Amino acid sequence: MEKKHNIIHVILTGGVGSRLWPLSRKSRPKQYLEIFDGKSLFELTVDRNQDIVDKVIVVGNIDNCDLSRAILEKKNIPYLDIVEATPRNTAAAIAFAAFAADPEDILIVTPMDHIIEKKDLYDIAVADAIKKAGEGNIVTFGIVPTKPETGYGYIEAKGENVVSFREKPNLVTAKGFLAKKNFLWNSGMFCFKAGVLLEELKHFQPKIYKKSKKVWDHNDNGKLDLELSMEIPAISVDYAVMERSKKIKVIHSQFLWSDLGSFESVYDYLLAKGHPVDENGNMVIGVQNFTAFIGMKNTILVATENANLVLQKEYSQDVKDLYNELEVEKPELLE
């Protein structure tokens, strides 16, 4: 069957993965660590969509564009690099990709820090999203939750319609969401025609639209100007468009999905893949040395050349606070 639209995979590669320090550094953020069966999260993201799309647009920062480029060139995939001079959140990042595309092109927007399994179910969800996007909808992928997760945002759904978007809940609220059975994890993945997204952005956030367009109009081979970029309000696409538009549809996705945003999620993933733990659930990442844990449970030792981290996995979210302290006191450990 002949395709009516170009299908473009937009990969958002911003962020340094502060909650995965010391594995994740500014010079090699978590999305490029080859710790997933010898591949990085970025490469897995490219592979997953390679047979679905015609082209890739990578929106990232100056620090990681070379890392993305090396992987795409190795795979011989046609791509466009959009290099942000400074992070301005996801509304602007997605707007740049939409400006770079034809208005009728269908964009599949994905972050690159996700592990997705059951690819057959993923392909079904993406095909459904492309169909709905072709009809003028902005499609978001909701994941049918498997536990009362407090680290994710949620989508309250009524069939394919979105009732509301919810911020990360506390445990009591998350359990309530699961009991109601119409709440989905918000995956941060979207699908839409470039022109439809831009029209909605122009309607709800004219300043972001106007300033982003100005930046894009002055791009130099995909590189964006710092001074002009600083004028763009830094707002997420969820807040700018998704929570306001009447064109949103949600797909109840059944594929297995996890956001590898913390050591707890990395621990769970590695455990499922057969990574060794001792009888008390203690795990070592990054070193082969014999390591003994005495009097500890569910503890993770993360070893790197110039920094080690020891944490109980339920405290994984607190690594970000440590990262912020090091930014001030020992910034060389973040490079």
| Residue among 130, 258, 123 at smallest CA distance from 188 | 258
pLDDT, tens only, 219-275: 988 899 889 989 998 988 888 888 888 999 999 988 888 777 788 888 888 888 888
Q: For residue 211, give the CATH number of its domain.
A: 3.90.550.10
In a domain, 1, yes or no: no
Domain count, the chain: 2
**Is cis: bond before 22, omega within 30 of 0?**
yes
**Does residue 244 sit in the same domain as residue 271?**
no
For range 290-311, the mean pLDDT: 92
Is 43 within the bounds of a domain? yes
Could you tell me if 157 and 203 are in contact, meaning their C-beta atoms sit under 8 angstroms apart? no
- pLDDT (mean) for 2-6: 61
CA gap 111, 238 in Å, rounded: 14
Of the residues 233, 259, 285, which one is the last residue of a structural domain? 259
pLDDT band at 118; cut points 50, 70, 90: confident
Euclidean distance between CA atoms 179 and 267, whole angstroms: 27
**Sheet of 283-285: strands edge to edge?**
283-285, 299-303, 308-312
Which of the listed residues 210, 237, 259 is the one where a domain comes to its end?
A: 259
Same domain, 208 and 162: yes
pLDDT of residue 3 exceeding 60: no
What per-residue confidence (pLDDT) applies to 190? 92
Indicate whether 1 pLDDT > 70. no
Domain that holds residue 202: 7-259
Asked whether residue 80 is domain-assigned, the answer is: yes
Whether the pLDDT of residue 157 is over 90: the answer is: no
Determine, yes or no, domain membership for 67.
yes
Strands 299-303 and 283-285: parallel
Answer yes or no: do 107 and 140 share one domain. Answer: yes
Residues 227 and 306 in one domain: no
Task: Please report the pLDDT score of residue 16 as a whole number.
Answer: 67
pLDDT band with cut points at 50, 70 and 90 for residue 161: confident
Final residue before a domain boundary, out of 259, 274, 301: 259
Residue 322 lies in a domain: yes
Q: Minimal CA–CA distance to 107: which of 61, 52, 44? A: 52
Q: Is the pLDDT of residue 318 over 80?
A: yes
Same-domain check for residues 284 and 191: no
Question: 151 and 43 in one domain?
Answer: yes
The C-alpha atoms of residue 159 and residue 155 are separated, in whole angstroms, by 12
Interatomic CA distance for residues 112 and 189, integer angstroms: 10
Do residues 195 and 150 share a domain? yes
- pLDDT score, position 256: 83
Side-chain half-sphere CA neighbours of 59 within 13 A: 29
- Asked if 255 and 298 sit in the same domain, the reply is no
pLDDT at residue 4, as a whole number: 58
Share of the chain above pLDDT 90, in %: 31
Q: Which two tokens stand for residue 102?
A: 């034809």
User: Does residue 205 lie within any of the structural domains?
Assistant: yes
93/42 same-domain check: yes
Residue 250 sits in the same domain as residue 321: no
In a domain, 242, yes or no: yes
Structure confidence at residue 238 (pLDDT): 84
187 within 8 A of 251, measured Cβ to Cβ: no
Q: Under a CB-based contact definition with an 8 Å cutoff, are residues 152 and 186 in contact?
A: yes
pLDDT score, position 73: 84
Residues 74 and 171 in one domain: yes
Candidate from 27-36, 170-179, 206-215, 250-259 with smallest mean pLDDT: 27-36
Asked if pLDDT for residue 2 goes beyond 50, the answer is no
Q: How many angstroms separate the CA atoms of 326 and 17, rounded?
A: 14
DSSP 145: P
- Give the tens place of pLDDT for each residue, 65-108: 888 888 888 887 878 888 887 788 889 999 999 999 999 999 99
Residue 2 domain-assigned (yes or no): no
Q: Model pTM?
A: 0.85
33 and 173 together in one domain: yes
